[in-house]
Amino acid sequence: MPYLLKRVLRDAMRREAPVAVGYGFSLFIDAERRLLTCGTENSGEGELVLGHDWGGNIYSYSGMPRVISPPTLVLSMQDRRIVSVAASDCHCLALSSEGEVYSWGDGDFGSLGHGDEGGMAVPSRIELRSRIESIAAGPLRMSAAVGEDGKLFTWGQAINPNDETMPSGLGYAQTGSQLTAKWVETLSEDRVVGVALGYAFTLVVTDGGAVFSFGDGQDGVLLGHGSLVAEVLPRRIEALTQTVRRFVAVVAGEGHALALTEEGELYGWGCEDANGHGRDEPIPHRVTSFVGQRVKLVCAGALSSCAVTEKGELFTWGNNGVGQLGHGDVTHQLTPSRVEGLSGVKVAAAATCGTHTLVADEDGVVWAFGDRTALGLNDGEDEDFVGYLFLVPTLRVRAHKSPDVLLFR
């Protein structure tokens, strides 16, 4: 019975991710748990992020990067049942219902976890010793996975490229690239249930409700400890223990971080762009915009954030250079603002990055706002952003009714 109860609690805490976004592309899990992608191949470094085999050539006959629209089934994965997807700007991860992790895209610094730095055009299974329950892909070609046994595995770039004396957030001492998944042994006494990867820093949350951080995080500012010291090994954020709250989720952006409690209270820290406070905060503080409301879901992009309340209302804030906040303009928002275009819609899933945002309602209907190329659209418009919501046609994702915030008392 204790084992079954723990399984129920873990399953409730684990939020499957039916959508994910990267720079100029989108990932989806449809109602049949199949993997679909759309958008534009990233030609800057020759990365293959859409998961399709182009025969080694990402350019079309016109000399432009290949584009997929609408969302299209990834044929090599059509026999796999996918439950979660994750993406950075240049590599992607997919988690199957059997607990297997697949990766593709740019393999620099070992971000794909296959023992080398080679890229992959189509998803390829990563060798892991544990059955995996959640995944994360970070901006510095880092990846992470959490096993059903609570073990945290990380791999990819070990050093912050802006300062080679600082760690990038793998959670262990490493001077070169980590080409395969490695267990973060210093967390062996804690059961990890969630992980988030920021720019050179990592956040984890345990089943006991504690939040740990490690890495550089702009010389320690984003680690939440109130100091400029980087942390090679995981260190508990003491400012969050003083709240006498149990945390259930963490997310990280390029310069900010957010943590969610079981009561639906949201805490933010880091740069003012998207921490929810409208000012820089080196130590976590509660985001006052949500006082009187309960947040059930939170996600972070490079310089933007999203939150969904228990009523299913979507709030966005941060950088809005291409209309990715969904407010019908390109005005930056330093504090959370409700997306009025989704009035009457109960949002169940969301994902955001520096170019666009995807949201899905409880029926799996998907909306998008931001850069058109992320949906593979080229409709001749002068603007490259969607000022208002755009319905993604012919697609239903596997979005469940948003669960209540859990009370583990």
HEC string of 78-118?
CCCCEEEEEECCCEEEEEECCCCEEEEECCHHHCCCCCCCC
Token code pair at residue 337: 């603002």
Range of the domain at 233: 2-391
Looking at 8-17, 65-74, 133-142, which range is the least confident one?
A: 8-17
Q: Counting beta carbons within 10 angstroms of the beta carbon of residue 130, is it exposed (0 to 12), middle (13 to 18) or buried (19 or more)? A: middle
CATH code for the domain in which residue 327 is found: 2.130.10.30
Residue 383 scores a pLDDT above 80: no
- The share of the chain scoring above pLDDT 70, in percent, equals 88
Q: Confirm whether 217 is domain-assigned.
A: yes
Residue 48 scores a pLDDT above 90: no
Q: Confirm whether 404 is domain-assigned.
A: no
403 pLDDT band (50/70/90 cuts)? very low
Averaged over 208-213, what is the pLDDT?
A: 96
**Peptide linkage before 70 cis (omega within 30 of 0):** yes
Q: Confirm whether 60 is domain-assigned.
A: yes
Averaged over 212-234, what is the pLDDT?
A: 91
As a whole number of angstroms, the distance between CA 297 and CA 51 comes to: 28
Q: Confirm whether 115 is domain-assigned.
A: yes
Token code pair at residue 189: 């006494």
- Give the helix/strand (H/E) hosting 67: strand 67-73
Q: Confirm whether 363 is domain-assigned.
A: yes
Q: Taking Cα atoms as reference points, which of 196, 294, 209 lies closest to residue 243?
A: 209
As a whole number of angstroms, the distance between CA 64 and CA 168 comes to: 34
Q: Confirm whether 254 is domain-assigned.
A: yes
Averaged over 238-258, what is the pLDDT?
A: 92
The two counts, helices (H) then strands (E), for the chain are 2, 28
Contact indicator for 30, 396 with CB cutoff of 8 Å: yes
Sheet holding 247-252, edge to edge: 247-252, 256-261, 266-270, 281-286
CA dihedral 18, 23, 24, 25 (to 10 degrees): -30
Identify the three-state secondary structure at position 20.
strand
Token code pair at residue 282: 């080196």
Looking at per-residue confidence, does 333 or 380 come out higher? 333
Q: Taking Cα atoms as reference points, which of 267, 348, 270, 342 lies closest to residue 302?
A: 270
Average pLDDT, the chain: 89
Phi-psi region of 188 (alpha: psi -120 to 50; beta: other; left: phi over 0): alpha
Q: Confirm whether 406 is domain-assigned.
A: no
Averaged over 288-308, what is the pLDDT?
A: 96
> How many domains, in total, are found in the chain?
1
315 bridge partner residues: 307, 338
CA max distance for the chain: 62
pLDDT in tens, 124-183: 999 998 999 999 999 889 999 999 999 999 999 999 888 888 899 999 999 889 999 999
354 pLDDT band (50/70/90 cuts)? confident
Q: Confirm whether 142 is domain-assigned.
A: yes
